[in-house]
Structure 1
Amino acid sequence: MDKIIQEYCIGCGLCQSLGKAELICNQKGYLSPIKGDEKWLRTVCPAGGKQCASMDFNHIWGRIEAVYYGFSADEVLRRQASSGGSLTEIASYLLESKKVDAILHICASSENPTETEICISTSREELLSRCGSRYAISHPLSSISELDVNKKYAFIGKPCDVTVLKNFQKLNPIIAEMIPITMSFFCAGLPSIDAQKKLLEEMGCNSRVVSLRYRGNGWPGYATANLENGKQCKMDYNTSWGKILGRDIMKMCRFCLDGIGEMADIACCDAWYLTEDNKPNFTEADGRNGIICRSNQGVEIVQEASALGKLVVTEFTDYEEKLKHMQFYQHDRRATMFEKYIAMKICLKPFPKYPMKIRRYQKGVGIRHRLGIFKGIVGRVLKGKI
């Protein structure tokens, strides 16, 4: 098996569902292929880099047609969702306007709230009952072969999931016609099952968990676990994600070139308010998204939803200046990817097949910081941590 594809598998499940590969699950809960059609995998998997031909390397935020601040006009949804509820509201509009018959996405597992399952929502009620971030391992494309070829779907997934889908659609026009709309969100990584266990332990969960929300019911909201014994455990977002879940993520996530959903028609992020020193302010507030339209179709959808009063949007004209502070990690990960690439190559370690054009993202980032990233990667390799 191709070492790059094997080590940087995202575990979407598409290859196994189509009989293109056999996957195994490691101790962290992540999937990776042990055998399969290597040529097909190199074409479809994000680590193969085929999607890079469609990326805009001249702009660190990728392909952009329009950018807005936005949130759902439904105050209940706005509060319930992880941030502003924009993705759920747009998905609801797509159903109500008959642009699609169903939304293919991920929700909490009905058997284990720390796990996920694939769901197909066909109504606003279903979408609202399933909304919210799931910081847990998912395989959203593992049932794509079971979709109804006579229906149209919109897909909501992690940026890497959208990349796989887009790469696959180039090989399969039928799937491209079935799933004409893709939406995503800014993603900082996929936590392991060990991270899930640690989260519950640190929250003080001493009984079986019957429900778990990682965010929502406020912005950013609290990680909230309801236990079988009636107890409720909570933890603030900065601790749950910043100190626990975000510290133990999949290998590909640390070297992901597209945590910003560049391949999707629409990508949403937290448009955090900033402190005086340009740091994200995680004080509870009314949710607000950054809505990035990456295709003309995406622009049309957002504008139509806004015109009907579903979304409240305003132009985000200074996004290039503000986003690098609101979404520092996403900006920094892209801006220093070249240094990571060089460090891994020098250490003779497999690395995703990104083009040398990733060097263009360095603009505006100091050489001292980039050198620090380079040294950090080399150090982790020497210590056997990569």
Structure 2
Amino acid sequence: MVDDLRSGRRPEVDPAAPVDPAASALSLAVCPGASLDWRDIPEEDRVHRELFDAWGPVRRVVEGFAADEEIRRMGSSGGAATALALHCIEREGMAGALHIAADPHSPVFNRTVFSRDRTALLAATGSRYAPASPCEGLGRIEQAEAPCVFIGKPCDVAAARRLVQRSPALQEKLGATIAFFCAGAPSTEGTLQLLRQVGVEDPDRVTSLRYRGDGWPGRWTVRWRDASGRERVASLSYEESWGFLQAHRQWRCSLCPDHTGEFADIAVGDPWWRPPEEGGDELGRSLIVARTERGEALLAGAIAAGALVVEREDAALLPRSQPNLLRARASVWGRALGARLAGGRTPRFIGAPLRTLWWRELGALERIRSVVGAFRRVRRRRLNRPTPVAGSAERAAEAKEEQHACAARD
């Protein structure tokens, strides 16, 4: 996998290498970019049936936070994902957690890591609004001495769940999956442009980059050394940073109906039903959704063990907290239609009433915009034809040259 700075993480295929038909077929079979199938979800997990069409399987919804105050503060919301992963390791006998962290050598990029203790998990707290591909590390779970927990975006978890159905080794070792709510993954180029806006001329000089955490919802904070070697710091509010980065989300995210981890054992996100306090540094809370029997048991165990503190429990918290994600899901059918009319290829979504949601949740003007907007975007950005993948080194050099050129013009 390589980081195409404009598109995201992409597989780099050597055209000179021999084609393995079996490997290619397996890749397409498990890739959520090719298809998602809600028929895979057991009926017994659809406890709150009134929520299934819009939110997927829901067994239990709570709002709470990590009992460990440091984990709670450094996490993006209430630290629930980290607290659950640590509970899996310390109390459930799991060998570790596979997840994403900032690359210590180049914090602008992400890397996949395997954490075995609190120290390692704590070092990776906070959202990473940049491309990531944790599924590339699933082999470490297969080779682990005991079951492990996997943490990722909804699409990452959907891919892992499908691979489990085809890999006995992974099925034996994948102890739990945790997804975090996702409104789309911005490209690395978006981060590079934001760095330039706050005065970072050379991304190689960045020593630390946090997108969220250290309070709720936290701040985007970058540390770097300038040409003289002096340490510099710049910070933006969550609203400022996400307001900029969301314009750089990859096209595939605009066609994604699963923003809340519907194929995970547990999904976590922000309880936006109430606005954060001014300043964005209050201790946060997490919205926690148990989606499977295994996830519900894990959540109950973490609460009983004191790893999580629950303040309220109500399935209605889910739609109250994330109305924007419902509208994004409702737009997918129209966007996919517009993309196909423009000659683009789209994923196959099976077993989800996306057309019904499109008609029910959106007004007439919004429905028209979803189709026409997608049609225009596909034509304008030439998304109806293959796009060459450029690796991170090549694009980083391009970005650096562009930054230097802009600095010279200024």
In structure 1, the residue matched to 2:295 is 298
Choose which of 196, 199, 202 in structure 1 pairs with 2:197. 202
Instruction: Map residues 256-295 of structure 1 onto 2, 5 A cutoff.
Output: 256-274=256-274, 284=280, 285-295=282-292
Choose which of 360, 363, 374 in structure 1 pairs with 2:356. 360
Kindly indicate whether the alpha-carbon contact (under 8 Å) linking 1:83 and 1:289 is maintained by their aligned counterparts in 2.
Answer: yes
Choose which of 81, 88, 97 in structure 1 pairs with 2:91. 97
Instruction: Report the alpha carbon displacement of residue 197 of structure 1 after superposing the two structures with TM.
Output: 0.6
Distance 1:59 1:258 in 2: 11
Kindly indicate whether the alpha-carbon contact (under 8 Å) linking 1:136 and 1:191 is maintained by their aligned counterparts in 2.
Answer: yes
In structure 2, the residue matched to 1:47 is 33
Distance 1:28 1:335, change over 3 A: closer
In structure 2, the residue matched to 1:3 is none
Instruction: Report the alpha carbon displacement of residue 201 of structure 1 after superposing the two structures with TM.
Output: 1.2
Kindly indicate whether the alpha-carbon contact (under 8 Å) linking 2:53 and 2:353 is maintained by their aligned counterparts in 1.
Answer: no
Amino acid at match of 2:28: R
1:30 is aligned to 2:9:
yes
Kindly indicate whether the alpha-carbon contact (under 8 Å) linking 1:273 and 1:281 is maintained by their aligned counterparts in 2.
Answer: no
Secondary structure at the counterpart of residue 63 of structure 1: coil
Distance 1:292 1:53 in 2: 20
Q: Deviations over 1:13-65 (max 9, x none)?
A: 5xxxxxxxxx8957545314656644322211102324332257942011111
Instruction: Map residues 130-279 of structure 1 onto 2, 5 A cutoff.
Output: 130-147=124-141, 148-205=143-200, 208-228=205-225, 229-243=230-244, 245-274=245-274
Secondary structure at the counterpart of residue 143 of structure 1: helix
Secondary structure at the counterpart of residue 268 of structure 1: strand
Choose which of 119, 140, 153 in structure 1 pairs with 2:113. 119
Distance 2:130 2:185 in 1: 6
Structure 1 or 2, whichever has the larger Rg, is 2
Distance 1:314 1:369, change over 3 A: same
Amino acid at match of 1:220: P
TM-score by length of 2: 0.80
Structure 1, unpaired ranges of 5+: 1-12, 14-22
In structure 1, the residue matched to 2:393 is none
Instruction: Report the alpha carbon displacement of residue 143 of structure 1 after superposing the two structures with TM.
Output: 3.1
Distance 2:126 2:255 in 1: 25
- Taking only aligned residues, the RMSD between alpha carbons, in angstroms, comes to 2.4
Choose which of 71, 77, 90 in structure 2 pairs with 1:77. 71
Instruction: Report the alpha carbon displacement of residue 286 of structure 1 after superposing the two structures with TM.
Output: 2.4
Taking every aligned residue pair, what percent have the same amino acid on both sides?
A: 30
Instruction: Report the alpha carbon displacement of residue 331 of structure 1 after superposing the two structures with TM.
Output: 0.9
Moved more, 360-369 or 251-260: 360-369
Distance 1:170 1:220, change over 3 A: same
Distance 2:301 2:293 in 1: 12
In structure 1, the residue matched to 2:314 is 317
Instruction: Report the alpha carbon displacement of residue 380 of structure 1 after superposing the two structures with TM.
Output: 2.2
Distance 1:60 1:27 in 2: 31
Distance 1:308 1:253, change over 3 A: same
Amino acid at match of 1:141: C
Kindly indicate whether the alpha-carbon contact (under 8 Å) linking 2:5 and 2:187 is maintained by their aligned counterparts in 1.
Answer: no
Secondary structure at the counterpart of residue 215 of structure 1: coil
Moved more, 353-362 or 296-305: 353-362
Amino acid at match of 1:41: S
Kindly indicate whether the alpha-carbon contact (under 8 Å) linking 2:152 and 2:180 is maintained by their aligned counterparts in 1.
Answer: yes
Distance 1:361 1:45, change over 3 A: same
Q: Deviations over 1:81-135 (max 9, x none)?
A: 1110001011111111133111111111121011111211111122112211111
Kindly indicate whether the alpha-carbon contact (under 8 Å) linking 1:79 and 1:216 is maintained by their aligned counterparts in 2.
Answer: yes
Distance 1:218 1:24, change over 3 A: closer
Moved more, 299-308 or 356-365: 356-365
Kindly indicate whether the alpha-carbon contact (under 8 Å) linking 1:58 and 1:360 is maintained by their aligned counterparts in 2.
Answer: no
Distance 2:66 2:340 in 1: 45
Distance 2:199 2:286 in 1: 31
TM-score by length of 1: 0.85
Amino acid at match of 1:242: G
In structure 2, the residue matched to 1:4 is none
Instruction: Report the alpha carbon displacement of residue 138 of structure 1 after superposing the two structures with TM.
Output: 1.7
Distance 1:66 1:140 in 2: 26
Distance 1:28 1:335 in 2: 24
Q: Deviations over 1:312-335 (max 9, x none)?
A: 11444252xx54453233111111
Structure 2, unpaired ranges of 5+: 14-18, 384-410
Q: Deviations over 1:183-230 (max 9, x none)?
A: 010111222121111121122235621111111111111111112322
Secondary structure at the counterpart of residue 235 of structure 2: strand
In structure 2, the residue matched to 1:9 is none
Distance 1:374 1:325, change over 3 A: farther
In structure 1, the residue matched to 2:343 is 348
Distance 1:26 1:36, change over 3 A: farther
Amino acid at match of 1:105: H
1:380 is aligned to 2:374:
no
Distance 2:118 2:216 in 1: 21
Distance 2:175 2:259 in 1: 21
Aligned length: 358
In structure 1, the residue matched to 2:326 is 331
